[in-house]
Structure 1
Amino acid sequence: MTAEPTESTSETPRKAVKGEPLLAADGHDLPEGIYKMYPSSHGIPVADWETDFDHADPAYNKNAHEIWDELRDKCPVAHSERYGGTWLPTKHSDVRDIAYDTDNFTSRQVVVVNGRVDPGLSPVGQGPPITSDPPFHKHARKLLLSQFRPNKIDPWEDEIRNICRQRLDDLGEIKPGETVIDAATQYAQHIPPAVISRMLGFPPEDDDKFRYFIHNVLENIDAPVEQKVAFAKEFNGYLDERIEDHRQNPRDDLTSYLLSAEIGGQPLPHETVRGAILLLLVAGIDTTWSAIGASIWHLAQNPADVERLRKDPDVMIFALEEFLRAYAPVTMARLVAKDVEVGGCPMKEEDFVLLPFPAANRDPEFIDNADKFIIDREENRHAAFGLGIHRCLGSNLARLELKVAIEEFVDRFADFELADPDAVKWSLGQIRGPRELPIRIL
């Protein structure tokens, strides 16, 4: 069956999440680029994943695979009235069809929050090219794609390997059987910020700021309006400072490249430069550290796979893709551009649609043994990097970081296990990965 929006018999939670949006014209100080906000659903537990799901509920990412499997069997397109109305398809075919349909679904907002981005920002959006619609999308993507081709990314391998080794060195003395490390906060979460900051030419000491920014953009999605306004000003202010520094002191990095780039013979407006950098920070950090963390989480419970990687390094070619398929971190979103029906569900203009690429990867109608991790799986047409025009342009970098991070961890520690499975803490929101990952070194 497919879910349709229904009135709830539970008055209290439904009143809390339903209602007319707060319009900017009403005098509310809304975040930059947002023209209306919906009432918060923070703290209201999910009543039913079919009709009241919430990707910010702590139970969602922790149990995502089970939730998607159940929905796929019972209600492949779920609906929730939270966030002003949101849909969640779980079958690969529906996710694929929506991702490729740029007529009925706009990319001007790819993160589901309580507000709606001003339609006047289209077709560029706040973080081009991922928030851009055709025809501008093609030009914005081409601009960045040239900087993420293999010939640009491969030379970074030695630097990435050095970053990983330094993080492992910083763990200090290891006593086998006794030492417990947090493979998320002490390892995985340091690698992508260090890499992207060097590529952008930002100060290495700002890596901790990136973690703070990422949390507010992708996890603190249900924060009060005043907090969102303050954070948007802080983030934009930081980026403005870094851009101005590059204007005054050009160098050979991604930021200076964007400042010298042109579209249609015209220099990029400041807002486009800032938006592209915002995209690189947000899309290039949390996604990759989540993939690294989830891969280590898997290996900590599957010593046979660790041994296979150690004895047969060539299997990494297949293992890398299987890590990406089985533990894909990224769910993107679209806004319904005009009323449309998908899977028998009447989606209305301005509704959100989540595109859970990890759920699509685990659809048994799409791939055999979808719920099993097969380290040497040869046929693996996964959607970890998305589908359609917005397929991740940084996939070469993400693959390299994931590969090196796993290799160095396995090389450093002969044996390891989850210190306490119940102590693993998963993220909130659209990027799925462990935020706390206690690992005992054996």
Structure 2
Amino acid sequence: MTVDDRFTEDFHRREPVEEELGTWSEPVTGPVSDWATDFSHIDEQYAANAIEIWADLRERCPIAHTERFGGAWLPTRYEDVQAIAYDTEHFSSRAIIVNNYRPPLDLAPVGGEPPISSDPPFHHDARKLLLPAFTKANVAKQAVTTEAFCHSLIDGLAGRDVVDAATEYGMHIPIRVIADMLGFPAEDGPQFKVFVENALEGINDPMEEREERGNELFDYLLAQIRDHAANPRDDLTTHLIDAELYGQKLEPQHVAGTMALLLIAGIDTTWSAIGASLWHLATHPEDRRRLVEDPSLRATAVEEFLRAYAPVTMARLVKQDMTFGGVEMKAEDWVLLPFPAANRDPERFERADEVLIDREVNRHAAFGLGIHRCVGSHLARMELRVALDVWLDRVPEFSLADPSGVRWSTGQIRGPRALPLRIG
């Protein structure tokens, strides 16, 4: 079979057989009654006040529960989050975004977006395919073009008193970087933003709407795959098309699923980290002044921003009924892994709720724990470091223009989606 032959069918719209259907639960709506027994991570209050909610739960109910999404758990202590992240025997990664649909059991060990949705032993081999693209050496090559792009974004803000640093700066940086890596047209950036929001913030929407939006994403990816198959070039998409696993070319679903992972996760996580870091500096002028006056502090500050404002919460599915941390988990329950909550556990970090930009010992979990630790951590660090360097050098004076205008994203990726800053 040639490369072209693999991608001639509309593979993501095949009709599933009965045993592949998975299970759906009815959406639960309405305000949260108690974060310990009825939490919802897509609630606007959770988005705005997550740090305070985690602290409260850590004290009175370290593993919270909700009947929403068909049943889900939320540990808040580092010890519990770490234990679950490393336990691939009792927890599956075949789906990592909590919603009202559990994919079929036979989707494991590959999952829909390998390798992040893959269980052992498949996970190890699928992850190895991506490692060459994300080495420090390859990431360093992208730093120069990323810096130039950041300068161009700042140039575009010239003469303005108030700008939205989330949508006019932070968002565009990972969009451009990921587009370049995958070999996608840079002008498609606005579509990527829509794909991200649909995948991560619309999880409680009706099934039909979510399926339609998912099909739009995979239609786009399939078009890009076909174009690359016909016109190979030196990028990550062509690498995936040509890659072999166990002596065979990758299945079309594997190629498209991995591309979806890189596109969605590669954009939203770094966009959120850049925005949260700028929000902190806008609200803590003493830290902003220190980093402007002493750039040597910026490397440790980046790690502290990653710890204190880690954007990512992953999820697992319980494989079988079990007791964990004093609670009774049922098979197919969701378990959220809030790495940002773990990063603020006072049992793990001294002065955990303080942001110390010169913190020297900082073994944070911003990039996850266990076998699914972020394969793109070097890339994310580079983007965050370059974005902050360019901003602080070009815009040394800034503050919140309207605190009430700041909006944090809902769902499993947390970061500012609106960040009005006053420049000068």
Look up the match of 1:48.
34
Look up the match of 1:387.
369
The CA distance in 1 between the partners of 2:366 and 2:248, in whole Å, is 34
Letter in 1 for 2:349: I
Look up the match of 1:64.
50
Structure 1-normalised TM-score?
A: 0.91
* Equivalent runs, 1:217-228 vs 2, <5 Å: 217-228=199-210
The CA distance in 1 between the partners of 2:191 and 2:79, in whole Å, is 38
| Contact 2:71 2:333 (8 Å CA) reproduced | yes
Is 1:354 aligned to residue 341 of structure 2?
no
* Equivalent runs, 1:89-168 vs 2, <5 Å: 89-168=75-154
The CA distance in 2 between the partners of 1:325 and 1:80, in whole Å, is 26
SS in 2 for 1:131: coil
Letter in 1 for 2:152: Q
State the shift of 1:414 in Å: 2.1
SS in 2 for 1:173: coil
5+ residue gaps, structure 2:
1-14
Moved more, 306-315 or 320-329: 306-315
Letter in 2 for 1:108: R
Moved more, 405-414 or 430-439: 405-414
SS in 1 for 2:224: helix
The CA distance in 1 between the partners of 2:217 and 2:274, in whole Å, is 26
| Contact 2:299 2:385 (8 Å CA) reproduced | no
Identity of aligned residues (%): 55
The CA distance in 1 between the partners of 2:115 and 2:16, in whole Å, is 27
Structure-2 change in CA distance of 1:347 and 1:300 (3 Å): same
Look up the match of 2:394.
412
Letter in 1 for 2:287: D
What are the Cα deviations for residues 375-403 of structure 1, in whole angstroms up to 9, with x where unaligned?
11000000000000000000000000000
The CA distance in 1 between the partners of 2:16 and 2:397, in whole Å, is 53
State the shift of 1:34 in Å: 5.5
Letter in 1 for 2:157: L
Letter in 2 for 1:40: P
Moved more, 333-342 or 394-403: 333-342
Letter in 2 for 1:125: G
Is 1:88 aligned to residue 74 of structure 2?
yes
* Equivalent runs, 1:320-335 vs 2, <5 Å: 320-335=302-317
Moved more, 340-349 or 82-91: 340-349
Look up the match of 1:296.
278
SS in 2 for 1:63: helix
State the shift of 1:29 in Å: 10
SS in 2 for 1:146: helix
The CA distance in 2 between the partners of 1:145 and 1:286, in whole Å, is 20
One of 180, 193, 201 as aligned partner of 1:198: 180
One of 403, 414, 430 as aligned partner of 2:385: 403
The CA distance in 2 between the partners of 1:29 and 1:226, in whole Å, is 15
Is 1:368 aligned to residue 350 of structure 2?
yes
| Contact 1:291 1:324 (8 Å CA) reproduced | yes
What are the Cα deviations for residues 148-179 of structure 1, in whole angstroms up to 9, with x where unaligned?
010111110011111111111112313xxxx1
Letter in 1 for 2:162: V
5+ residue gaps, structure 1:
1-27
Look up the match of 1:207.
189
State the shift of 1:266 in Å: 0.9
| Contact 1:29 1:226 (8 Å CA) reproduced | no
State the shift of 1:342 in Å: 1.5
Q: How many residues align?
A: 408
Look up the match of 2:60.
74
Letter in 2 for 1:410: L
One of 156, 170, 194 as aligned partner of 2:156: 170
Is 1:185 aligned to residue 167 of structure 2?
yes
Is 1:269 aligned to residue 251 of structure 2?
yes
One of 396, 399, 409 as aligned partner of 1:427: 409
Structure 2-normalised TM-score?
A: 0.95
SS in 1 for 2:141: helix
Letter in 2 for 1:231: R
